[in-house]
Structure 1
């Protein structure tokens, strides 16, 4: 069904008058100043997450802002819950220009944008404030260049806080990780991390996760509270372990082909609205987390907060992931990130 929907969308885009990868109507050409007065644009935004998620809130805010500020010249249709495909399908469709924008986690982009592996460094950020300041800083331009080389336009970063582990088994000390069957993304760095801790990582599609946990073919998974609650992943589980091993970094990206074909005024509008929507998503992530924890505890789960010494032991045990990432993208970007984290942390 997902592939059928993608085919229908592609056919519709091909048969319509097209500018910048999105449908256009109006028939007037761009003016001398690069604007497209009289032309209308219809964009698609795809996500692979439930509607009750920060991803969805980011998409809805972008839609609200750009439709309002364009005075109706731009309309946005949001496809949630993987309606246009899983992470890989969405990314490939966006690069090809058959889906205009997608919103997802950086971890799903590594096979397409190697530099996104920067966000696979365990415990790279000591807290959310540091992470957000760094990602809004000079390193953003370097990452935007890397995304463009891969056919995607990066507009900024949001997050859903840190990723935690849900499990049918308690984890209170390092030995408790041994043999736990945990679902991971199709990401070699994530797999290497859990292997280093002694767990048994099993990559699988997100759409299959709930059933695998319910049937007991998996013991555990790792995601931010936002997605755990939105997709009710806590229901088949008994514990939440606050591993906080990775920032759940979100980004809205667009097809570079789509964006480059837009007139200058629409490009500016897309960039401004997307940047504002990312900031809004961060705010909403912060506001939602306490109620999400309460939902999980009301369902009878125990939330285990690990001691700082154990968090450090986990980071030390999985330090080989840093070597893997350096092999994939070189030292320059890794060193730049770590230096900016250190500088920002020291200034706070």
Structure 2
């Protein structure tokens, strides 16, 4: 009886330990607290902990305290963390078709992007990640990626020969090359110093992210060349997710969806005032003339023909939305 009791107590303790581990969701992300991504994740934490009556505990690791952005996807797949929301470009090495979201000057508006995300093709693309032990559950967004410059960049000729930063992404590096510039892949957390030290002459990054990271201290102007619309795919470790009861899985999905509604509203609010925010810190805000935008589009046109045929087909689908 003593042996049986000891085994029973041990099994209960092990079950309790496993249960406790399931309740903890560690989220690593690169943005500081004021950024829209951080605010969305904080909203997710509050929403999930409230609706699950404390079943889930969400541990936040902002500003790349735990992992760099290039490590988040692999760490989520391995189960080192339970959740991440990587920028589209960091998922492309795992699933190259995700480059549809990085294809330059393809999406003209968030409304067009949101329509595409509801298509069967977009849903099938996200589902491909499940074979990599990644469970996609929804999308969050941020401001469009625009061109920051240490000097004003108004035309294609102004960009040519410059060292221009992109996020680590083959398709974006090719886009910068097509413009006649020199691409350099630099994580956002290292970009301030790169601009300050002349490693980069300019950078493609979202204006609200640049404001948060104070890139205006080392640049002069932001050109409204919306190369692509920024976004994140919310991922969970699939084995961890599959082990949860169905009602708990639904609570996760509901919290991600509620966070998306919060995110969309605030992205639009940020975008509505971002030009004024930039001017307030001394940045020039450059509106491209139709002729200048046409030059950039013409320079990028040959790039589309080099993309995966499935991405080319999705681009044509997007243009029809």
TM over 0.5: yes
| Match runs of 1:119-134 below 5 Å | 119-134=101-116
Matching residue of 2:319: 342
Within the alignment, does 1:175 sit opposite 2:152 as a pair? no
Residues 139 and 337, structure 1, Cα contact 8 Å, conserved in 2:
no
Structure 2 unaligned regions, length at least 5: 1-15
Matching residue of 1:32: none
Matching residue of 1:278: 260
Matching residue of 2:55: 73
Within the alignment, does 1:23 sit opposite 2:1 as a pair? no
User: Is the alpha carbon distance of 1:292 and 1:18 closer, same or farther for their aligned partners in structure 2, counting shifts above 3 Å?
Assistant: farther
User: Normalized against structure 2, the TM-score is what?
Assistant: 0.89
Matching residue of 1:144: 126
User: Normalized against structure 1, the TM-score is what?
Assistant: 0.83
Q: Distance in 1 between matches of 2:271 and 2:176?
A: 25
Which stretch shows the higher mean deviation, 314-323 or 63-72?
314-323
Residues 136 and 236, structure 2, Cα contact 8 Å, conserved in 1:
yes
Q: Distance in 1 between matches of 2:288 and 2:126?
A: 35
Matching residue of 1:332: 310
Q: 1:60 pairs with 36, 42, 56, which one? A: 42
Matching residue of 2:12: none
Residues 99 and 311, structure 2, Cα contact 8 Å, conserved in 1:
no
- In proportion to residue count, which structure has more helix? 2
- For residue 174 of structure 1, report the CA deviation from its aligned partner: 1.4
Q: Distance in 1 between matches of 2:60 and 2:121?
A: 29
User: Is the alpha carbon distance of 1:181 and 1:136 closer, same or farther for their aligned partners in structure 2, counting shifts above 3 Å?
Assistant: same
Matching residue of 2:4: none
Q: Distance in 2 between matches of 1:321 and 1:265?
A: 46
Which stretch shows the higher mean deviation, 253-262 or 290-299?
290-299
Within the alignment, does 1:50 sit opposite 2:32 as a pair? yes
Matching residue of 1:88: 70
- For residue 250 of structure 1, report the CA deviation from its aligned partner: 1.8
- For residue 48 of structure 1, report the CA deviation from its aligned partner: 1.0
- For residue 337 of structure 1, report the CA deviation from its aligned partner: 4.8
Structure 1 unaligned regions, length at least 5: 1-15, 25-40
1:133-158 deviation line (CA, Å, top 9, x unaligned)? 22233333212212212321111222
- For residue 43 of structure 1, report the CA deviation from its aligned partner: 0.8
User: Is the alpha carbon distance of 1:279 and 1:195 closer, same or farther for their aligned partners in structure 2, counting shifts above 3 Å?
Assistant: same
Q: CA RMSD in A?
A: 2.0
Residues 97 and 310, structure 2, Cα contact 8 Å, conserved in 1:
no
Residues 55 and 104, structure 1, Cα contact 8 Å, conserved in 2:
no
| Match runs of 1:107-118 below 5 Å | 107-118=89-100
- For residue 333 of structure 1, report the CA deviation from its aligned partner: 5.0
Within the alignment, does 1:246 sit opposite 2:224 as a pair? no
Within the alignment, does 1:222 sit opposite 2:204 as a pair? yes
Q: Distance in 2 between matches of 1:54 and 1:284?
A: 7
